[in-house]
Amino acid sequence: MAVACNLKEILTEFIREVWSEGNAEAADKYIAPEYKIHHDPGDAWEGQQLDLAAYKERVRTLRTPFPDQSFVIKGLFADGNAVVLTWLWSATHKGDIPGFPATGAEVTMSGATAYFFENDRISGHWQITDRLSVYQQLQSQKASHSPQSS
């Protein structure tokens, strides 16, 4: 149990420091030399194996349109070398993403991610995010700001 608790603590710190606070360089402390994205529909790196530099680039790229993004952890479930995280995400849409120029809208999303560890380093994930929810929120922003409806 001590090991499982420790992995939960490591993951909690990783999410806060790297993904919520946006300190991509801090990935050095958490990520294994080879990181595999096993499953992550919609993620540009799905199926790839990333080295540390590529992982940091992924953090920076994904945070650029949502620079104030933050995660609230809803649940942590540890089993062997894995920890599953259920989470809520919120952010301001400040940069362009495909199909959606920056709207300035507050958006929310939820997801679940299984993280895999090698010793105390995170070596990959299997993730589902509720992408449709973000799509619908941004579509509704588009509709409410279109010339036809103003």
Of residues 65 through 84, those in contact with its own copies by CB under 8 A are 74-79, 82, 84
Nearer to its own copies, 60 or 131 (CB): 131
83 in Cβ contact with 7 (< 8 Å) = yes
Q: Which is nearer to its own copies, 81 or 92 (CB)?
A: 81
Q: Nearer Cβ to its own copies, position 42 or 101?
A: 42
State the minimum distance, in angstroms, from the CB of residue 40 to its own copies.
Answer: 10
Calpha distance 3→9 (Å, rounded): 10
Please, which of residues 23-62 interact with its own copies by CB under 8 A? 39, 41-42
Among 12, 23, 86, 92, interactor with its own copies by CB under 8 A: 86
Residues 6+ apart with CB under 8 A from 57: 24
Indicate the residue type of 124.
G
Could you tell me the CA-to-CA distances from 9 to 36, 78, 81 in Å, in that order? Answer: 21, 11, 14
Q: Does 12 bind its own copies (CB under 8 A)?
A: no
Cα angle for residues 48, 53, 55 (degrees, 5° grid): 45
Contact set with its own copies (CB under 8 A): 4, 39, 41-42, 74-79, 82, 84, 86, 110-114, 126-133, 135
